[in-house]
A = this chain, B = another copy of it.
Amino acid sequence: MSTLAEYVRSNGGRFENELFEFLRIPSISTLPDHRADMLRAAEFVSGKLAAAGLENVEVIENAAGRPLVYGDWLHARGKPTVLFYGHYDVQPVDPLELWESPPFEPTVRNGSVYARGAADDKGQFYAHVKAVEALRAMHGELPVNVKFLIEGEEEVGGEAIEAYLAANGEKLQADVALVSDTAMYAPGIPTICTALRGMVYMEWQARGAARDLHSGLYGGVAPNPLFGLIEVLAQCKDAEGRVLIPGFYDDVEAPSAKEKASWAGLPFDEAAYLRDEVGSTALTGEPGFSVFERIGARPTFEVHGLPGGFTGPGAKTVIPATAAAKVSTRLVPHQDPVKILAGIEAFVSARAPQGVAIEIREIHSAPASLADPDHPAIAKAAQALGGVWGRETVYVRSGGSIPIVGEFQKRLGIPTILMGFGLPDDGLHSPNEKFSLENFHKGILATARFLELLQA
């Protein structure tokens, strides 16, 4: 281990520079005009997989222009196989004016690199690539078999990887998947995440009059689709945050007593969390549930934006002909996205006000996932993390969604280890996203150590 640690130390500057080069590619998957950047990012990844000594490296194109990248090394006869997953696509950057340095010019401040995608997920999965490079450089071979499958559609719930998994079950067969796309519980506390929430992301599209109308000449008789959406959305939750859609909570299970006990043992200062991390005047959510439960074990209903009407500076007195709402629910284990979407559709269609038609377009859906912390590979991952950070690994749930974890379970029948190197304040999806460079280097070491432990 000491020679590997030396290799990582002596090559650390180069590893960082490679990561910065990767972060300069604005691979925003949801914006169609970044198509060329998606291809550049995929080529970057395939180049680095090959340079790390992986074989059979390929860029798997698709019609959406967001290719998958695959590579493997399968010469550890009789040893387990690890399927590494990561994503090279990133979220949009708006509001751009809130970034302290440009989102695609990686800038180091206080030991972290600031850039869109730094923690989510370029910096995290790049640590896996460098772990493979380091092990190969040290030993000429790897302790176990590895397969890398990196996608470019995680932020848009794209279907390329789903289709690829469905069609290539044998090629992708492995004993366990490893994903670093989550956060450590707190700086210095090595963490494995045992559950992720699923989601249904929708656009509710509303139509009123045939054309935009003047709110003076028609106000009082013309239906307002924006207000129609407001009326229906407001009925979806009560003032305390309970979702009012019939059947929404039917399949929700309470976390185990063991899980609740372990959460209660984590260091947590709710007042500091409110003040320093959320920064509002109050936390919200369902009464009777702890913060851990509200984030990890309860589903949500959220509105992300309402396109339509007039949103510029000043005043425009328009009753818009159309309006939309970006709406999502986060789901917990055992909730079925198909059933939840159907329940929402029935609820909305029964409540659309007179003169306003509301159609729901599903943008993407995925179920939640739940892992068994007693699984042997998860125990070894915890041991590897604990060794590098010098502290016992904790188990938490994440409120986020990584749809692929459910797919690995469903298509390949394998569990996923969620070994996060991010930090809670990394600002995923927000301005000034960052990633700790110390965690980048420790992540490389922990990944390599995990593969060594898995060999035994």
Contacts of A280 in B (CB 8 A): 207-210, 222-223, 355-356
Q: How far is the CA of A329 from the CA of B331 in the complex (A)?
A: 39
Q: How many interface residues does chain A have, given as a range?
A: 35 or more
- From A55-63, A303-311, A376-384, give the one contacting chain B: A303-311
Residue A157 is within 8 A (CB to CB) of chain B in the complex: yes
Residue A267 is within 8 A (CB to CB) of chain B in the complex: no
Contacts of A214 in B (CB 8 A): 400, 428-430
Q: How far is the CA of A197 from the CA of B316 in the complex (A)?
A: 16
Q: Which residue of B lies closest to A355 (CB)?
A: B282
Q: How far is the CA of A4 from the CA of B218 in the complex (A)?
A: 37
Which of A231, A315, A363, A424 has the most CB atoms of chain B within a 10 A radius of its CB? A315
**Contact between chains at B226 and A237 (CB < 8 Å):** no
Residue A47 is within 8 A (CB to CB) of chain B in the complex: no
Contacts of A241 in B (CB 8 A): 220
Interface of A, helix, strand, loop or mixed by DSSP = loop
**Contact between chains at A398 and B430 (CB < 8 Å):** no
**Contact between chains at A219 and B431 (CB < 8 Å):** no
**Contact between chains at A314 and B279 (CB < 8 Å):** no
- From A19-27, A88-96, A247-255, A335-343, give the one contacting chain B: A88-96
Residue A357 is within 8 A (CB to CB) of chain B in the complex: yes
Contacts of A279 in B (CB 8 A): 209-211
Take A279-B210, A309-B303, A317-B304 as given contacts and tell me if A399 and B216 are in contact as well, using a CB distance cutoff of 8 Å: yes
Residue A156 is within 8 A (CB to CB) of chain B in the complex: yes
Contacts of A282 in B (CB 8 A): 223, 354-355
**Contact between chains at A429 and B330 (CB < 8 Å):** no
- From A73-81, A258-266, A291-299, give the one contacting chain B: A291-299
CB distance from A168 to the nearest CB of B (A): 26
Copies in the complex: 2
**Contact between chains at A239 and B353 (CB < 8 Å):** yes
**Contact between chains at A212 and B429 (CB < 8 Å):** yes
**Contact between chains at A156 and B302 (CB < 8 Å):** no
Task: Return the contact of A312 from the options B30, B401, B428 (Cβ within 8 A).
Answer: B30
Which residues of A373-410 are within 8 A (CB) of B?
398-401
Contacts of A328 in B (CB 8 A): 215, 315, 317
**Contact between chains at B311 and A306 (CB < 8 Å):** yes
Q: Which residue of B lies closest to A241 (CB)?
A: B220
Task: Return the contact of A313 from the options B31, B94, B223 (Cβ within 8 A).
Answer: B31
CB distance from A1 to the nearest CB of B (A): 33
Contacts of A212 in B (CB 8 A): 95, 98, 429-431
Residue A427 is within 8 A (CB to CB) of chain B in the complex: yes
Which of A220, A222, A330, A424 has the most CB atoms of chain B within a 10 A radius of its CB? A220
Closest 10 CB pairs of A and B: A210-B279, A216-B400, A234-B234, A305-B309, A30-B314, A220-B294, A307-B311, A282-B355, A219-B300, A306-B306
Known: A211-B431, A316-B429, A317-B429. 16 other contacts (CB 8 A): A30-B314, A197-B216, A201-B315, A209-B279, A211-B279, A212-B430, A216-B330, A217-B400, A220-B298, A220-B399, A227-B237, A227-B302, A230-B233, A281-B357, A304-B316, A305-B309
Of the A-B pairs whose beta carbons lie under 8 Å apart in the complex, a sample of 22, sorted by A's number, is A30-B316, A211-B427, A211-B432, A212-B429, A213-B430, A218-B278, A218-B295, A219-B302, A221-B294, A222-B283, A222-B284, A224-B303, A227-B237, A227-B303, A230-B234, A234-B234, A280-B355, A281-B355, A304-B317, A306-B309, A316-B429, A317-B429
